[in-house]
Amino acid sequence: MAREPGSGPARRASDRGRYGRLNRERVLAAALDLVDREGLSALSMRRLGAELGVEAMALYRYAPGKDALLDGLVEALYLELEAHLAPAQDSAAESDWRAELHRIALATYRVCLGHPRVVPLLATRMLAVPLAQRPPAVLRDHERVLTLLTEAGLDEARTSAAFRAYTAWLLGYVSVELRPLVDNPDETDPAFRLGLHRMSAQELPTLRSTAPALVEPGGPEGLAAGLDALLDRFA
């Protein structure tokens, strides 16, 4: 094969990657895109390297390891959330804290809807990290929510309880709601989507009869309704 004199590698550094040099933002964007397209199991260091036209080890300059890369996916999600949140920021000052909380929750829901296969990472990686070590974008989100609650007049204990309820509901809702999107979007017949055949009608009669209704998504309205109910209780 023809190569430069001096027996260097076949590719010049200026040709590296598909568009010049690597950086953390490009790495995370490529990882997010790969996971969106092919799922979490497709994300490996070698594969992501190939996606960027680079060897696997090159990625270690921008993430200390695979776990950090997964945390980076969560970070990317929250950065996208902030981008969606920013435009209405000035008008937000006028609306009350409750409406603003709804706005944030809905925006989070929408971002997750755009990246359903990343959602499991919220439960597995984000919550696994000890709060202060979470990505800055995540901490800023926490700060926004907590500020709204305290400015609403809640004391420390109630703020904490309301924050936990907010987080649990939002996380649980997107988890149960967005999963079906990943499963098998091809099959249109809800009966087969659920695999209702072979489910014994005598042992599980109620499940079998309500199953078609269960696949119907709750949508943003369901999220808002539950959030309202919880805020009534905890705030």
Partner DNA sequence: CCTGGGATGTTTACGTCGTATACGTACATA
Partner DNA sequence: TATGTACGTATACGACGTAAACATCCCAGG
201 Cβ contact partners less than 8 Å away, ≥ 6 residues apart: 208
Residue 8 near which of DNA, its own copies, none (CB within 5-8 Å, type-dependent): DNA
Q: With contacts defined by CB under 8 A, name the span among 8-16, 24-32, 48-56, 220-228 that binds its own copies.
A: 220-228
Which of DNA, its own copies, none is residue 172 near (CB under 5 to 8 Å by kind)?
Answer: its own copies
107 binds DNA (CB under 7 A): no
Q: Does 129 help bind DNA (rule: CB under 7 A)?
A: no
**Residue 203 CB partners (closer than 8 Å, separation 6+):** none
Q: Which is nearer to DNA, 55 or 183 (CB)?
A: 55
d(CA 221, CA 121): 24
- The answer to whether the CB of 120 falls within 8 A of the CB of 185 is no
Residue choice 45, 107, 146, 181 for contact with its own copies (CB under 8 A): 146
Rounded distance between C-alpha atoms, residue 187 and residue 34, angstroms: 24
What's the token pair of residue 121? 């990472």
Question: Are residues 190 and 215 in contact, defined by beta-carbon separation less than 8 angstroms?
Answer: yes
Q: Are 153 and 96 spatial neighbours (Cβ–Cβ below 8 Å)?
A: no
Shortest Å distance, C-beta 133 to DNA:
17
Contact pattern from residue 44 through residue 73 relative to DNA, giving x for each residue in contact according to CB under 7 A and a dash for the rest: xxxx-x----xxxxx-xx---xxx------
Structure tokens at 66: 């695979």
Binding site for its own copies (CB under 8 A): 120, 123-124, 127-128, 130-133, 139-140, 142-143, 146-147, 150, 156-157, 159-161, 163-165, 167-173, 175-177, 179-180, 182-184, 193-199, 203-207, 209-211, 213-214, 216, 218, 222, 225-226, 228-230, 232-234
